[in-house]
Amino acid sequence: MSGKSREVRKSGSPEDSLKSKVESPKSEERSLNFEGEKTSAIDTPRSEIIIKSDIEHPIPIAIGTEIKPLTIHDSPLTTMEVHHHPEVEKKGFKEYVLEGLMIFLAVTMGFFAESYREHINERSKERDYVINIKKDMVADTVNLNIWIPSLYNKILNFDTLITCIESPAPVKNGSEMYYLARISTRNGIFEPNDNTILEMKSSGNLRLIQNRELVNGLMDFERNLGQYTNLLDIEGKENVLCYPLLGELFDAGVFDKMVFVKTKGLTEKEYASGSTNNTVRPTGNPQLLSHDKEKINLLVYYLHQRKSSFMGEMRRLYVQKELVVKLINMINKEYGLENE
C-alpha cells in the first residue's frame, strides 16, 4: 500500500512535473486534453488542438467550431461574383459583307473629301503665286524700258571716247573726253524681280502651276537671265583691264576734282546710266598725259570688247522683255487677271 502511494506521489508530484517540463525538449509540443492528461500534439486530433494567439493567453477553440478564412483587413471572405457574357446572335454572311461595304465606302468618301480639300488649297496657292509673278513681271517691264536704252547710250559714249583718244593732240573737247573716261568704269546690272519664281523652285511649288506652257515660259525666263549674267561676268573682267591704262593716260588729279559726295539715293535710270549723279565735267580742256600709241591701242581694244559685251547684254534684255510681255499675256488669259 505504501509502495503504491509512493508511486502515485512520484508520478503526480508537482516538482516532478515542473522538472519534466524543463528537461524535456518536447515540452512545448504537448498540451492538455479535456481529461487533464498529458498528450502529444502530434497524437491530438486537429479539432482538439489549442491555438495560441499569445504565449501567456492561449485561446482554445472548441471541437466542431468552423474556422473561416479572413482577408487582409480581418473581414470575412465573400463569394466572388462571376459575370457571364451575354450570348451574341451569330450574323449571316450577307451582314458581314454589308458591314464591310459600308466601311469601304466610308474610307473611300473620306479619301475623296481630303483629296478635294487639298485640291482647293493648291488651286488657291497657285493663284496667289501667279498674281505675285505677274506683279514681278510688270516691274521688270518698267525697268527693262530703262536699261535697254541705257546700254545703247553706253555704246554711243564708248564710240565718242574712242574717237577722242585716237584724235591727234590737242583734243578739242578734252572736258567731254575726261568725263566719258571717268564714267566708263562704272557698271550697272539689271536685277530682275524673280523672288517669287525662286521661292517656288526652292520649295517645290512650281508643280502647282498646271499650265505647262506657262511653266516652260518661266523656265525660258530663268535661262535667258543666266545668259545675261554670263555676259556680265565677261564684261566685268574686261572693265578691270581698263583701269591701269586709264591711270597711265589720264590725269588722276582732274578725275579727283570731278567727283563729289552725294547722299541722295539713285533712281533706276541714274543707276542704269552709270551713276552719273555725283560726277561733273571738268573745267577747261584737259589733255592726255601720254600719247603712247601702244597704250592707246590697248585701251581702245578693251573699250571695243566692252562695247561688244554691251551689245550682247542689250540683246539678252530685249529677249527678256519679249518673254515678260508674253508671260503677262498668258497669265491674264489663263487666270483672268487683266484688271489686276
Q: Look up residue 208 and give its three cell numbers.
A: 502647282
Q: Measuring CA to CA, how many Å separate 13 from each of 7, 25, 204, 276?
A: 10, 20, 113, 143
pLDDT at 111: 84
pLDDT band at 82 (very low <50, low <70, confident <90, very high): low
Using one digit for the tens of pLDDT, what is the confidence trace for 91-131? 777 888 888 888 988 888 888 888 878 878 888 899 999 99
pLDDT at 21 over 50: no
Least confident of 38-42, 271-275, 314-318: 38-42
Amino acid at the residue 253: G
What's the rounded Cα separation, in Å, for the pair 323 and 82?
84
Say what percent of the chain tops pLDDT 90: 48
Report the sign of the C-alpha dihedral through residues 229, 158, 162, 283, in that order. Answer: negative
By CB atoms closer than 10 A (0-12, 13-18, 19+), residue 104 is exposed
Q: Which residue has the higher pLDDT, 94 or 316?
A: 316
pLDDT at 24 over 70: no
pLDDT band at 272 (very low <50, low <70, confident <90, very high): confident
pLDDT at 109: 87
By CB atoms closer than 10 A (0-12, 13-18, 19+), residue 88 is exposed
What's the rounded Cα separation, in Å, for the pair 298 and 154?
19
Phi and psi torsions of 73, nearest 5° = -95, 25
pLDDT at 42: 46
pLDDT at 23 over 80: no
Strands 38-40 and 30-32: antiparallel
Say what percent of the chain tops pLDDT 70: 73
pLDDT at 301 over 80: yes
pLDDT at 265 over 80: no
pLDDT at 59: 54
pLDDT at 50 over 50: no
How large is the average pLDDT for residues 64-75? 56
pLDDT band at 3 (very low <50, low <70, confident <90, very high): very low
pLDDT band at 192 (very low <50, low <70, confident <90, very high): very high
pLDDT at 20 over 60: no
| pTM of the predicted model as reported, rounded to 2 decimal places | 0.65
Least confident of 6-15, 128-137, 159-168, 304-313: 6-15
pLDDT at 68 over 50: yes
pLDDT at 245: 95
Using one digit for the tens of pLDDT, what is the confidence trace for 148-157? 999 999 999 9
What's the rounded Cα separation, in Å, for the pair 274 and 154?
9
Helix (H) / strand (E) element for 53: namely none
Least confident of 43-57, 217-231, 275-289, 290-304: 43-57
pLDDT at 25 over 80: no
Q: Which residue has the higher pLDDT, 45 or 203?
A: 203
User: Is residue 177 a contact partner of residue 164, using CB atoms and an 8 Å limit?
Assistant: yes
- Tell me the pLDDT of the chain averaged across its residues: 80
